[in-house]
Amino acid sequence: MANTKINMLGNGPLKVEGDFSITDPNGNAVDCKQTVFLCRCGESKNKPFCDGAHKASGFCD
């Protein structure tokens, strides 16, 4: 059984921890750590990862 935890951070990214992989639109693996923060505001310049831009954009969930 996969052991992956996803936590929605308030007014911010999705925190993903555990066993998972990320692939780009072409199916290529994206190098990432065991814990990542995925952007859900659309403002990151480093998608799919959060770069903190949600704070300045005023993103509200």
Q: Which residues pair with 29 in a beta bridge?
A: 23
Binding characters for ligand FES, 23-52, by CB under 6 A (x = yes)? ----------------xxx-xx-----xxx
**In angstroms, rounded to a whole number, what is the distance separating the alpha carbons of residues 6 and 13?**
10
Q: Is 16 in the site for ligand FES (CB under 6 A)?
A: no
User: Computed over its alpha carbons, how large is the radius of gyration of the chain?
Assistant: 12
Give the residue with the Cβ less far from ligand FES, 2 or 45.
45
Applying CB under 6 A, the residues found at the interface with ligand FES are 12-13, 39-41, 43-44, 50-54
